[in-house]
Structure formats: C-alpha cells, structure tokens
A and B are shown apart, each in its own frame.
Chain A
Amino acid sequence: MTVTAAGPLLVAGIGELVTSADPHVTLVAYGLGSCIGLAAWDPRTKAAALAHFMLPTGQAGGPPVKFVESGFEAFLAGFAAAGGSIRRAQLKAAGGAAMLSVMVGSLDIGRRNAEAIALQVGRRGLQLSASDLGGSSGRTVQLSVADGRLHVKSVARSTVI
C-alpha cells in the first residue's frame, strides 16, 4: 500500500506525535492495528497534530504519546504549540482494531484504547467529530494539514473522514 501526498510527509511512529501548520505537509501514522491515531486540526489557523497512541495506560516514560492516559496532555500541548486551539479543533480518531481473533479475549487492547481516548476527550468537554474505530482491519491514516481531511486506508478499503 502506498501513501501518496503532494508535499512532505511527517510520520508519527509508534508512541510519537507530529505537528505542523504548513499546508503542504501531510501527517501520517502507518499500520495502526490496535493502536489509535488521534488527529486534531484547527480550521482557523490550519494547525494540525497527529498522535500514534499505543496503549491505554502504563508507566509514563519513553515515547511521548505511548500511553493515552499519560500522553494525552502531551498531545494537547503539542497541538497548542503548533498554533492550534483545541476548542476550535476537529478531533478525529482511527484504529483500535482487534487484529487477531485468537488474542482478543486476553488483551482486547484496541477496544481499551478506544475507551481511553473517549475518556480523555470527554473529561475535557471535547468531542470526536469523526471516527473509524474497531473492526479487525489495520489502518494507515494521513491528515492533510491544508484541509483537515483524514484519509483512512486499509488493505480492503479507503475512506475520508
């Protein structure tokens, strides 16, 4: 699967956060399985942030947004530093799949990640404007800094939210 974008790509690796206010840039998180890509985009300033959250909770340390619980503030701070207002922002999330049915019963991390995102978002009086969560397919997401569109691609389908 190839991600195509007119301008430069900024990649959020596992547990990483990328931000930009350059409309030529596309923010990408590749191969989300049970991980979640959380995107914020401010329609006024065109500032954008994309976090690649890994787990719902855990001991803080390591990559900045490895855990939803301890990394959510870093996500908000990074977005603000890029010039975004979280109150104006469109918040979108994708990922949280249960990739392997044989593991769902024991871990179910995808569902727990989605619940952790909902908790952090709701706790701050925010709302997701769109989401593509759950299921059993992996996803690659790309956030267009120019217009805030979030492309969600899997092996079988491609959609924009």
Chain B
Amino acid sequence: MTMVQAPESILATVLATGLARAGDALGALSGHEVTIANPSVAACSPAEVIDSAGGPDAVVVGVYVGITGSLTGHALLLLPPEGARRLAGILLEGMRDPDAAQGGPDDGFELDPLEMSALQEVGNVTISACLNELGRFFPIPVHPTIPQAIVELAGAILDAVLLDLVAESDLLLAARTTFTINGDHVDGTILILPDRRSLTALAVAIAAVGL
C-alpha cells in the first residue's frame, strides 16, 4: 500500500524549530549553552534506522517516549553510551554529592540512576519539543507518554518499537542530529515514528496549511 508522505524538507524545518526550543530548555535547565543541530530527516527502512544507530549489535542509551493524541506512534532518542555519559555529566555538574560514588563500572555501558534520570529528561524535553511543533498542525495536541531510558542493544530497542509499525509499512521517519554543550559534541539520533495513519494525517495537515 502506498504511504502518503509529508515532504521531508518541511518536516526537517518543523523539527528544527522544536529542537532549537529543546536546546533552549536544556540550557535553562543545566545552566550551560546547549544547541541541537538542525536535523536531517529521511524516510528509511528499519535496517537503515538500525544502521544509523551504529548497527544492531551496538550498545546504546535509548530514551523511549510514546506518541498519543492527534498523532500516534513512538519516538526514541538514541545516544552512544560514552557520549550519553558525557552529556549527563555536563548536565549534572554541581548537582552531585561530591563524596558519593559516581557512575557504574567503567565498562562504558552502565550508567548510574542519576545519569539515567538526566538522560531521560534530555529525551523527554527533546522529543516533546518536536511533538509540540508537529502538534501545531492539528486542532488536538500531540502528547508524549512518560519517558523510559534503557541501555541496550540498538537492534533490540528498535525492534521493540518498530514491530507494530513495520507490520503495516516498511518505511519509517528518522531525524539525525548532534547535541553541543559548551562546545562538546555528542551525536544522537532522534526517531519520530508515527504510524501509517498518522503519517498520512500529517501529510494532509501540512498540505492544508499550504507549506
């Protein structure tokens, strides 16, 4: 079945506005200068999405947020563990008990609960900002669910969220970007994965606005 798609360049512009707002919010939260680069947006196969996150066997930090309201589907922020740890470290600067043990075992994978909480908030703010922008095209808002952060194999995280989507379509919408905090770059992948009905609704709504 043919999937009606919103123009990717328009979606890139919409998401860029959301990410700029997310950067401002994270900056206000952390007291640091945070920018999130304009994303590249593309319709991809599940395999391409997984490869963009480092391959199915790569261990990544994933923050999952469900999408409800006018659009339904899933959203994910994927970060490499080392970059995620640096990102969390910067955001948590000055918030830790200096005498408390920090971080999990130094295997590059484990993150302590405070780091996971910080990254969960990064995912929440970033994805919610994108959903807010997408929601402007609809009379009823687009809502995020409570975020969940996990450290897992990229393929395993993605197949959990892709399965109900690829049952009906083999194309997904992915945005890739880079977080920069005080000049320190951390690559991340943001996946906004509306279901097929929502992709069609989005394309129709964008066309109606005349963008």
| Chain A residues engaging chain B, CB cutoff 8 angstroms | 1-3, 13-14, 30-35, 54-55, 58, 62, 97-103, 107, 109-110, 137-140, 154-155
Q: What 1/0 flags go to B23-67 for Cβ under 8 Å of A?
A: 000000000000000000000001100100001111100001010
> B155–A33 contact, CB under 8 A?
yes
| Chain B residues engaging chain A, CB cutoff 8 angstroms | 46-47, 50, 55-59, 64, 66, 109, 145-146, 148, 150-161, 163-164, 166-167, 170
Q: Which of A14, A138, A140 contacts B157 (CB 8 A)?
A: A138
Interface SS majority for chain B:
mixed
> B161–A100 contact, CB under 8 A?
yes
> B57–A3 contact, CB under 8 A?
yes
CB distance from B198 to the nearest CB of A (A): 16
Pick from A2, A13, A30 the residue with the most CB of B within 10 Å. A30
Chain B residue nearest to A103 (CB atoms) is B160
CB distance from B168 to the nearest CB of A (A): 9
Contacts of B155 in A (CB 8 A): 30-33, 138, 140
Q: A62-B170, A103-B160 are in contact. Are A30 and B56 (CB under 8 A)?
A: yes
Contacts of B50 in A (CB 8 A): 31
CB distance from A98 to the nearest CB of B (A): 8
> B64–A32 contact, CB under 8 A?
no
> A109–B47 contact, CB under 8 A?
no
CA distance A101 to B153 in the complex (A): 16
Chain B residue nearest to A138 (CB atoms) is B156
Q: A1-B153, A140-B153 are in contact. Are A34 and B160 (CB under 8 A)?
A: yes
> A155–B160 contact, CB under 8 A?
no
